[in-house]
Structure 1
């Protein structure tokens, strides 16, 4: 219980001040006149003024409140290295025991993990949020159990009490990390792009470690290559992308005995390969209604360089027109089919027949071009079943079909085969069909697929209509009809002509998104969407290897014909490896080398600016957990083997009682008595002090 005097004046304080001044002047006049009772008059005036100020005694019943100590425990990824979790657990247990032994003191424990995305360790944010939940007048101190690698120091709160850091890790720790200084998001296929890398050592690096390290580089999971590179220097690495679409480049430096962690020894760079210009050679055997389809498709893409070779006047045509009067110039067949054939990304034979214009040796070059990685598409017409068919040329060695002499001249609706519903070139095309189904075609060349040929579309009498195949390192496709243009004209509703031809061309040019067998993963935040595409049987479960080496086996249900997918939440950011049968993939959740592993050596350097102003200290846990003492406000709160908290003495008022010191009549009686005493004294002793009676 405490008591204080309070005032509730009957008149404003300004009026009381004026009255006090007037009373002081009158008292001074009495003293000047030498009145013997001047001091009694002064007391009477003071009593009256005090009565008007209305003093009262206020008594409070107070209940003391406990002091609060906040302990923030860093559970981020870098705190899970080595024996740091054990150090943190032991330190927290010691803090809990020490605070429990202090009178009138409570402990609040706050844990924080990795920040969302690549935010790192938001230590100051966690401390500020913990302070906001407690009355600042009760906070006696805060303790951070961490490795000191905070990434939000700009958000450090103002502390009302000492702030201490209990540092995990050890002074002898050292680590090696791989840094990607710069990497472009896009690059042109076939042209080198420069990446800047650096291998860097941190901490108490052993002198015998050396100044070089092994660096392993792999693209899209291919056979890695290892190089010996310097440590502590920026390296410029030229890389040439092998294909279009996303190229995944994986870099890794060898793990060295004694280093703190290997989590930052690897990095993944994803570069989207784009083609500068796509070169296509279109060879049209004769003018026909579908010829314009191919030309329009290829000319509509500004990234395509089209060379169109059309035979308008075959050699056997005898019309009497002198050659000198023809407007056409001689086509550079030797240059195209011998000297520069390797520069083309795709060669299309559209209703071409053997007329002696292209010698057999040129067609042999085309065959070799395919086996060495080139692509050929044959859009067949009636001539494909004749004696001058391409099938009866050296190209027969690579074509995935055998031709008969039959040409089917009847209406039919193209349809997807079971394989076609799963193949990336044709899957989902049924969904693009107009109401009532695709429009009819009216001509088909009878063919049969060879072993290895993939029949994805069928036509009249379920005969093969579109056959795909891989030959050597290249690809070949045969479309056994020249009536695809009917879809483009919208006949009987038409069909997905442009989409089919676009996919077909892109598959032949080996675009990754149209591969038949593919395992891919897309990271959105910390959620992975894993997809598997196959034209074979169900591929089974996928094995996911996390950054810490733990493996997770995930089933993949079929979501559509030939497509299997699963969503999975990654427990932490880092590099994940996926394996399913003979396919593998690598995906980075967040950056492959996140902020948590940029600096792994425990250090209190970043936290010194926020602990020093509070009088707190930074102590290493490898020297032992400290004692906790109570210290006065403003005094040094840390020393060797101990840290201090400042008791705040906070309380809550439970009851208040207010009572007047004297009733009003008592004040009046006292003032009147003093005034009467002054009058009597002045009457007895005369008007002046010291005058004889």
Structure 2
């Protein structure tokens, strides 16, 4: 198509022409006022002069029309996979593209939206902004979004120059049930009650047996154990008191079963991860008699500000008679009944340091200590020569829980403590070799110890050995509790730096924390740590090497994760989860639960199709929201500024954009000719006025 227009290329600046025009009008007005007969010739001369200076030209443009562009954004996020939304989307897309292709000078640009990175949800407005940035705004005739309306980046809505429409998937009869954790603390103190707040909510066209007033089963499982099920009301806020049972990560899983007809069960479960922390660790240290190693235990326990230490040392046995009044031997009486009967369960760990039976603790008290271990307590025995004697605490009710028995021999000979093959796998002694000091002769090794109580191994695990590979440190789980037996009282030599010393503080710290059931020191464990959609699976075991871990995804899919040995007893594998949600891990008799992202991703928090999210943006651009269950609407062309949606149709605005292929400029006047005309007319005016003047005289 062609277009003609008149343009000006003035010989003088426009301001000069304006001034010249004003002067011409003033002079012509003056000539008329004086009654000059040639004023009209003067006016024509002024016009000719001004036209010559303005230099008008005829501009002829050869224009090639451009097609109008309709942006079509197709939502293929996870929520669009529910019900028959994917089929609705593809059918609507096909019809929309066919209608646009049938329109003259109109074409479509399709942008596909999938799930955002991490848990960003549907980023439809970002996709629309990117598509708009790639096209000239003057050619954009409209934008059509095919989606369920659950858009999560409305703050990025672009300034469209044309109508915006939503073709909404889904059905008016859709309904869904979801479990929402409204409040869950990240940390909790062991033994203290914390409160979780959650709610089961029904959305959409809820059937008669659902909604507020209905009750549904809710299963609660802690750390992958057998779940417990309770009937809870729908639509009411539930406050659940929880008391953490162990330190470290406590994983609590909530599940409500899938109801018939609901859209998805991906939001019927939730996982809460709460780190259990100890408010204070209460330790009871009973020393049988003063010796150089007593200070070692005291310094270790007092150096930790989170430990409350109660320490008693038996300075004189009851049978000793030296005439010293009892009131002068101690500041307070040894509260044996209070400690070992009434308040024994308040202690996390009891340490017997070179203690032997002296009649201070009756058999009843020792039986209570044994029962305390069976109930979940912990006892550590740091043995000296007394453990091999007839007064050994092994020859008391505590012998029932000891991991090894004394042979009555005490070896007084130098030796180097060593980690056994089993000890290289056990978290208490794993990696202690890396803490070998370098001795003067350059040979790595620990300093020697010079006393060892000969032990006969029982059911306990020997993780360190001494002279001629005799047991030095023996660990055992007993009932719900734990017992450790160290067959020497010479650990203090390491802290004094004898012959280079050794990792005494690290060993005793690990030992104490293992006995207090710190999760990081569990010798049999299956754990997983998630970063984004990648999980690192860790299996620690003292047994045979595991080959792989079975992983169940949130949609029920099964995967296997091969494990590689990082160090003795420690195996690890990496798995990239294809979806966000809950994953259950199984290896042997060990199970674990881990959430990649939230247990219910943003795509499944609210699944009912709606136009409310986009309503303001659509109305601002005179568009419309059309449910696809009523059929794909017709596409019409409407003038700019008119309402662009109606019953069964949506509109786009023709833009009539073009590109100029060629420009021809033809001058309309010859400046020299017009200047000559101006001069002639000025001369004619002068002659006319001169004749009239002569006649009048």
TM-score by length of 2: 0.95
1:264 aligned counterpart, secondary structure: coil
Alpha-carbon spacing, 1:322–1:15, altered in 2? closer, same or farther (3 Å): closer
**Aligned to 1:576, which of 583, 601, 615?**
583
Deviation for aligned residue 1:328: 4.5
CA distance in 1, matches of 2:693, 2:658: 58
Deviation for aligned residue 1:330: 2.5
Q: Is 1:667 aligned to residue 674 of structure 2? A: yes
**Aligned to 1:421, which of 399, 420, 424?**
424
**Aligned to 2:343, which of 340, 344, 355?**
340
CA distance in 1, matches of 2:311, 2:270: 45
CA distance in 2, matches of 1:79, 1:290: 69
2:340 aligned counterpart, secondary structure: helix
CA distance in 2, matches of 1:183, 1:567: 28
Match of 2:451 in 1: 443
Q: Is 1:142 aligned to residue 143 of structure 2? A: yes
Match of 1:479 in 2: 486
2:423 aligned counterpart, secondary structure: helix
Q: Is 1:595 aligned to residue 602 of structure 2? A: yes
CA distance in 1, matches of 2:328, 2:481: 42
Match of 1:619 in 2: 626
CA distance in 1, matches of 2:30, 2:325: 145
| CA deviation profile, 1:240-286 (whole Å, cap 9, x unmatched) | 11111111111111211011111111111111111222221111111
CA distance in 2, matches of 1:668, 1:175: 86
CA distance in 2, matches of 1:552, 1:66: 50
Q: Is 1:153 aligned to residue 187 of structure 2? A: no
Q: Is 1:14 aligned to residue 22 of structure 2? A: no
Report if aligned partners of 1:35, 1:687 keep a CA contact under 8 Å in 2.
Answer: no
Counting only pairs closer than 5 Å after superposition, residues 626-645 of structure 1 correspond to structure 2 as 626-645=633-652
Report if aligned partners of 1:631, 1:645 keep a CA contact under 8 Å in 2.
Answer: yes
Deviation for aligned residue 1:213: 1.4
Counting only pairs closer than 5 Å after superposition, residues 326-337 of structure 1 correspond to structure 2 as 326-337=329-340
The count of corresponding residues between Structure 1 and Structure 2 is 688
Give the aligned CA root-mean-square deviation in angstroms: 2.1
CA distance in 1, matches of 2:288, 2:425: 33
Report if aligned partners of 1:36, 1:687 keep a CA contact under 8 Å in 2.
Answer: no
Match of 2:5 in 1: 4
CA distance in 1, matches of 2:386, 2:365: 20
2:612 aligned counterpart, secondary structure: coil
**Aligned to 1:460, which of 454, 463, 467?**
467
1:607 aligned counterpart, secondary structure: helix
Q: Is 1:89 aligned to residue 90 of structure 2? A: yes
Report if aligned partners of 2:170, 2:609 keep a CA contact under 8 Å in 1.
Answer: yes
Match of 1:167 in 2: 168
Match of 2:561 in 1: 554
Counting only pairs closer than 5 Å after superposition, residues 395-414 of structure 1 correspond to structure 2 as 395-414=398-417
Report if aligned partners of 2:561, 2:574 keep a CA contact under 8 Å in 1.
Answer: no
CA distance in 1, matches of 2:327, 2:61: 122
CA distance in 2, matches of 1:546, 1:81: 17
Counting only pairs closer than 5 Å after superposition, residues 317-328 of structure 1 correspond to structure 2 as 317-328=320-331
Report if aligned partners of 1:34, 1:687 keep a CA contact under 8 Å in 2.
Answer: no
CA distance in 2, matches of 1:69, 1:291: 84
CA distance in 1, matches of 2:94, 2:447: 77
Deviation for aligned residue 1:86: 1.8
Match of 2:237 in 1: 234
2:582 aligned counterpart, secondary structure: strand
CA distance in 1, matches of 2:152, 2:515: 48
TM-score by length of 1: 0.95
Report if aligned partners of 1:252, 1:267 keep a CA contact under 8 Å in 2.
Answer: yes
For structure 2, the 5+ residue unaligned runs are 439-443
Report if aligned partners of 1:162, 1:614 keep a CA contact under 8 Å in 2.
Answer: yes
CA distance in 2, matches of 1:509, 1:231: 40
Deviation for aligned residue 1:39: 3.1
Deviation for aligned residue 1:564: 1.3
**Aligned to 2:513, which of 506, 519, 534?**
506
